[in-house]
């Protein structure tokens, strides 16, 4: 699996996670906010996440 060393990620439940290493395998991800106005880290997430399987 390809590893993108520029995108660190610990979400190993995601089908795009590099598994053995804490990186994403995609060339590009979309980071999103899920509150109208992001005021803290918890208000942001990876919009490219897809559940394994
Ligand atoms: S798509 Fe997002 S959640 Fe999935 S491995 Fe890449 S950075 Fe992590």
Residues contacting 27, CB < 8 A, separation 6+: 4
Residues contacting 6, CB < 8 A, separation 6+: none
What does the domain layout of the chain look like in residue ranges?
4-46
Q: 18 and 24 in contact (C-beta within 8 Å)?
A: yes
Residues contacting 8, CB < 8 A, separation 6+: 22, 23, 24
| Structure-token pair, residue 23 | 């990186």
Q: What is the pLDDT of residue 35?
A: 93
User: Does residue 11 have its Cβ closer than 6 Å to ligand 1?
Assistant: yes
- The preferred substitution site among 8, 9, 28 for testing ligand 1, maximizing ligand atoms within 8 Å of CB, is 9
Give pLDDT tens digits for 1-52.
799 999 999 999 999 999 999 999 999 999 999 999 999 999 999 999 999 9
Index of the ligand 1 atom closest to the CA of residue 16 = 5
Residues contacting 28, CB < 8 A, separation 6+: 48
């Amino acid at each position: 699996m390809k590893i993108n060393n520029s995108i660190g990620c610990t979400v190993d439940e995601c089908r795009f996670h590099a598994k053995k290493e804490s990186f994403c395998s995609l060339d590009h991800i979309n980071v999103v906010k899920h509150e109208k106005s992001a005021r803290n880290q918890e208000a942001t997430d990876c919009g490219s996440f897809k559940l394994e399987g």
